[in-house]
């Protein structure tokens, strides 16, 4: 890597990882949620569990369990980012505030997608449905990154792009890529939080009313 690339290394990572996350994380969330919920369908243990704890608490407990895995995935990613940055020799001190935002935003999107996947995995015995939704959502989320941001905001899987805070300029003549920080989209973060609340309230109610 040349000096220009090393000076932009942190921004390069914070630009590339949300793209990578929009491919990987929806599928990982679908797999984690399906794994946690399918066990109960297979063993027909939901009724049994419901006799020892309220369905609402079971829903929350399953979500927290899945959330730990998703959080661990992002933390591991951060460790890899910092380790590689030091190994390669990126210039400047690590931008701790930006890395914190990355952790916050990626976890927030992951958990909202995980919540949706959990609702689907609990409601449908056939796990093909939630996994297909996860895959198609991930694919659409990736493509929608190349669309105007107003469209991205309407689509849960597009929030990896909405909450990205690094932009890129590619000069066609010189073929030099320049990265730059953009303002954090707090309105996007709030709309994601609203989505989370809506999915939680509706999903939990649907699960509680479902025949176990």
Q: Interface with other proteins by CB under 8 A: which residues?
A: 23-24, 27-28, 30-32, 34-35, 38, 42-43, 126-128, 131-132, 135-136, 138-140, 142-144, 146-147, 172
Determine whether 155 is exposed, middle or buried from the number of CB atoms within 10 Å of its CB (0-12, 13-18, 19+): middle
9 versus 138: smaller Cβ distance to other proteins:
138
148 versus 183: smaller Cβ distance to other proteins:
148
Measured distance CA(195)–CA(113) in Å, rounded: 10
Distance in Å, CB of 38 to other proteins, minimum:
5
Distance in Å, CB of 197 to other proteins, minimum:
26
34 versus 110: smaller Cβ distance to other proteins:
34
5 versus 38: smaller Cβ distance to other proteins:
38
Exposure letters 33-49 (e unless 16+ CB within 10 A, then b): bbebbbebbeeeebeeb
Distance in Å, CB of 127 to other proteins, minimum:
4
DSSP assignment letter at 166 = E
Distance in Å, CB of 65 to other proteins, minimum:
15
Backbone angles phi, psi at 111, to 5 degrees: -70, -35
Q: Which of 98, 103, 107, 105 is nearest to 166 (CA)?
A: 98
Distance between terminal CA atoms of the chain?
57
172 versus 209: smaller Cβ distance to other proteins:
172
Backbone angles phi, psi at 169, to 5 degrees: -120, 125
Distance in Å, CB of 40 to other proteins, minimum:
13
Q: Which of 121, 127, 162, 120 is nearest to 141 (CA)?
A: 162
Q: According to DSSP H, which parts of the chain are helical?
A: 3-7, 9-43, 46-52, 55-88, 96-123, 128-144, 149-152, 159-162, 186-209
44 versus 60: smaller Cβ distance to other proteins:
44
């Amino acid at each position: 890597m040349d000096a220009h690339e090393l000076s932009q290394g942190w921004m390069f990572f914070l630009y590339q990882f949300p793209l990578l996350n929009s491919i990987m994380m929806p599928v990982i969330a679908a797999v984690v949620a399906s794994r946690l919920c399918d066990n109960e369908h297979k063993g027909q243990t939901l009724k049994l569990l419901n006799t020892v704890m309220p369905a609402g608490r079971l829903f929350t407990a399953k979500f927290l369990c899945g959330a730990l895995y998703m959080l661990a995935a992002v933390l591991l990613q951060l460790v890899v980012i910092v380790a590689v940055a030091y190994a390669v020799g990126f210039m400047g001190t690590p931008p701790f505030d930006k890395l914190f935002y990355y952790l916050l935003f990626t976890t927030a999107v992951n958990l909202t997608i995980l919540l949706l996947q959990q609702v689907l995995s609990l409601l449908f015995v056939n796990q093909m449905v939630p996994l297909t939704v996860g895959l198609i959502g991930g694919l659409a989320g990736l493509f929608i990154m190349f669309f105007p941001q107003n469209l991205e905001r309407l689509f849960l899987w597009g929030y990896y792009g909405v909450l990205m805070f690094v932009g890129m300029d590619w000069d066609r003549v010189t073929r030099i890529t320049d990265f730059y920080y953009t303002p954090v989209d707090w309105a996007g973060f709030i709309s994601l939080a609203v989505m989370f609340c809506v999915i939680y309230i509706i999903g939990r109610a649907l699960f509680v009313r479902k025949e176990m």
